[in-house]
Amino acid sequence: MNSRRSILKYFKVSEKASRLATDLNQYTFAVDNDASAIDVAHAITKEFGYKPVRVNLLNQRGKLKHIRIGRRKTGITRKPAVKRAIVLLRSGDKIEIL
C-alpha cells in the first residue's frame, strides 16, 4: 500500500467519536478509500506506537446536495464519500489527539 501518511487522513471529531474514545477506548479516523484494515493497523502502530486490538472499516456514501444554478434552475451534486476506521486499543493505551 502507500505510505502511512496517505492512509490516515484526519481524526474524526464528533459527539459519537469523543464518546467512543472516552468510554470504550476506540478512536475514529478518516482513511484512504483503498486502505484495508491491515494497512490501517500498521499505520496506527507506526504513527502512535500502539498495536490495535481491532480495526473496523465503514464506507460512508456522499450525501446528495441540491444547488441553485440560476433563478429557476436547480441541480443535484453529491458530496465525496468517506471511509472511516474505528480502532480499538488496549485498556492502558491512549492516543492524545487534541
Output the domain CATH number for residue 27: 3.30.70.330
- Within 10 angstroms of residue 78's Cβ, the number of other Cβ atoms is 10
Task: Please write the tens of the pLDDT for every residue from 45-94.
Answer: 998 888 999 999 999 999 999 988 888 888 889 999 999 999 999 888 88
Assess if residue 82 is contained within a domain: yes
Strand pairing partners for 30?
A: 10, 84
- Can you say whether the dihedral through the CA atoms of 37, 6, 46, 20 is positive or negative? negative
Q: CA 70, CA 68: separation in Å to the nearest integer?
A: 6
Residue 3 vs residue 90, higher pLDDT: 90
Q: Name the domain count of the chain.
A: 1
**Predicted TM-score of the model (pTM):** 0.77
